[in-house]
């Protein structure tokens, strides 16, 4: 049983977990110390978010498997176009069947639903509005009749799911309320999580276009437009915090998030080099944050992709961790 669990957790892409876990923990930290604060609701919410994220990642694999995404990417790569080819290898290798995949999805959803039941018992049925919206939008990302991720709306889905819906939802589950500061920070966090997916779509823009998949990078059109939107995603979150401090709605210590800004600016520059076909060697630096087994990525020929994707992910981690630390010290 433990081997099965570890197998599905591994294939649920835990490398992407910070984009949901850190925003959820930020909501916990921002609600800490409030009159209505509930540790039980906080723990249940965070566990629920993690398992829902795992379920949606696996469900995304299932939808992509049905349309042959991995095979299409391999064909594009064989035509000489640079792109990321690794996709649901556990299915293409025969390690698991798509029916087993669906069972794993249901198992993860069951855990998430049970945690939701705990929150409902504490806060009432209102929290279901957040859960229902998250599920509908999440499934519509790559499945159902909408397939928003294929229509240039994937970044909007990610922004709503991992920003306003997740952060305010967890905050409400813990406190039973929402405030102005929480709403603004949820937008800032949502934009940075969106930056992960958008950076991905810029790096995969040519293969995606060949496959008929429209992303925000595709809608931006020119290289100049793509980088302009990257600059937007990598600067506006910091401006939101600066504005919040200037208006007296946030503690001045929140300005510590500006320490992350140079990393964001590096990412914009790196993507600019990429879209203009400047083959600039990129090596992991300590200030970029954790890079996992980067040598393995290099051997797989994915170093050019992963160093930028992981940097975008780490920006979210750094930003949220600073908010968490600052709030725990000064709340």
- pLDDT tens-digit readout, 76-94: 444 444 445 456 788 878 8
pLDDT in tens, 193-217: 999 999 999 998 877 777 777 888 8
pLDDT in tens, 276-306: 888 777 789 999 999 988 888 888 888 889 9
- On average, the pLDDT of the chain sits at 88
Q: Residue 145 pLDDT more than 80?
A: no
pLDDT at 313: 96
As beta bridge partners, residue 274 has: none
37-42, long-range: CB within 8 Å, 24+ apart, which pairs? 37/174, 37/175, 38/122, 38/174, 38/175, 40/118, 40/122, 41/118, 41/119, 41/122, 41/123, 41/173, 41/174, 42/170, 42/173, 42/174
pLDDT at 324: 96
Q: How many CA atoms lie within 13 A of 325 on its CB side?
A: 10
CA distance 165 to 204: 27
pLDDT at 240: 98
pLDDT at 212: 72
Total domains in the chain come to: 1
Domain span including residue 216: 2-330
Any idea which residue has 């999440």 for tokens?
138
Q: How many CA atoms lie within 13 A of 175 on its CB side?
A: 19
CA distance 7 to 95: 10
pLDDT in tens, 27-61: 999 998 777 889 999 999 999 999 999 998 998 88
Q: Mapping DSSP to helix (H, G, I), strand (E, B) and coil, where does residue 235 land?
A: helix
Predicted TM-score of the model (pTM) = 0.91
Choose between 317 and 222: higher pLDDT. Answer: 317
pLDDT at 42: 95
pLDDT at 78: 43
pLDDT at 79: 43
- What average pLDDT does the segment 122-134 reach? 87
As beta bridge partners, residue 151 has: 214
pLDDT at 24: 97
Q: At 136, is the pLDDT very low, low, confident or very high (cuts 50, 70, 90)? A: confident
pLDDT at 325: 96
Q: Mapping DSSP to helix (H, G, I), strand (E, B) and coil, where does residue 88 land?
A: coil
Q: Using alpha carbons only, give the angle 96, 101, 107 rounded to the nearest 5 degrees.
A: 130
Characterise 147 by phi-psi region: left (phi > 0), alpha (psi -120 to 50), beta (else). left
pLDDT in tens, 2-25: 688 899 999 999 999 999 999 999
């Amino acid at each position: 049983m433990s081997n099965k669990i570890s197998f599905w957790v591994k294939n649920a892409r835990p490398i992407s977990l910070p984009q949901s876990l850190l925003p959820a923990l930020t909501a916990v930290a921002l609600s800490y110390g409030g009159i209505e604060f509930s540790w039980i609701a906080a723990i249940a919410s965070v566990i629920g978010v993690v398992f829902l994220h795992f379920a949606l990642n696996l469900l995304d694999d299932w939808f992509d498997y049905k349309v042959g995404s991995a095979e299409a990417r391999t064909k594009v790569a064989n035509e000489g176009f640079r792109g990321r080819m690794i996709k649901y290898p556990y299915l293409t290798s025969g390690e698991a069947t798509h029916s087993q995949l669906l069972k794993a999805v249901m198992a993860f959803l069951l855990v998430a639903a049970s945690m939701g039941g705990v929150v409902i018992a504490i806060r009432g049925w209102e929290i279901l509005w957040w859960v229902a919206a998250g599920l509908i939008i999440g499934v519509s990302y790559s499945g159902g009749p909408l397939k928003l991720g294929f229509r240039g709306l994937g970044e909007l889905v990610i922004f709503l799911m991992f920003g306003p819906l997740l952060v305010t939802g967890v905050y409400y589950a813990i406190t039973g309320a929402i405030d102005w500061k929480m709403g603004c920070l949820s937008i800032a966090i949502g934009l940075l999580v969106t930056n992960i997916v958008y950076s991905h779509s810029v790096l995969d823009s040519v293969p995606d276009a060949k496959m008929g998949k429209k992303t925000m990078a595709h809608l931006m059109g020119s290289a100049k437009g793509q980088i302009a939107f990257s600059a937007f995603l990598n600067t506006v979150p910091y401006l939101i915090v600066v504005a919040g401090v200037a208006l007296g709605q946030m503690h001045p210590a929140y300005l510590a998030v500006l320490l992350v800004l140079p990393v964001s600016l590096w990412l914009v520059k790196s993507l600019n080099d990429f879209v203009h076909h400047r083959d600039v060697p990129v090596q992991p630096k300590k200030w970029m944050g954790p890079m996992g087994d980067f040598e393995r990525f290099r051997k797989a020929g994915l170093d050019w992709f992963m160093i930028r994707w992981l940097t975008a992910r780490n920006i979210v981690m750094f930003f949220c961790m600073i908010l968490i630390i600052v709030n725990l010290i000064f709340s």
